[in-house]
Amino acid sequence: MRQKSLWRDVSGQALSEYGLLIAVLVVGVFALAMLFRDKLGAAFRAAASDIDTAVQTPLR
């Protein structure tokens, strides 16, 4: 009898599903970052260059 009730107990199901969903999303974001790493790097370098230019330009 005890074993059947364990199969019907779903108290931790939602937490494990959220954990699995987060793990899939993390893997997806990592895969996209690796796929577009050159474009992302260029975008960050351009942003850093723009910030450097803005900091070095005196205020009027």
pTM (two decimals) = 0.57
**Residue-by-residue pLDDT tens, the chain, 60 positions:** 456 676 676 777 788 899 999 999 999 999 999 999 999 999 999 999 999 998 887 766
Identify the DSSP state of 58: P
Quote the pLDDT of residue 3: 61
Quote the pLDDT of residue 27: 98
DSSP letters spanning 25-52? HHHHHHHHHHHTHHHHHHHHHHHHHHHH
Quote the pLDDT of residue 49: 94
Quote the pLDDT of residue 60: 66
Domain ranges of the chain: 2-56
Residue 33 and residue 40 in contact, taking contact as beta carbons nearer than 8 Å: yes
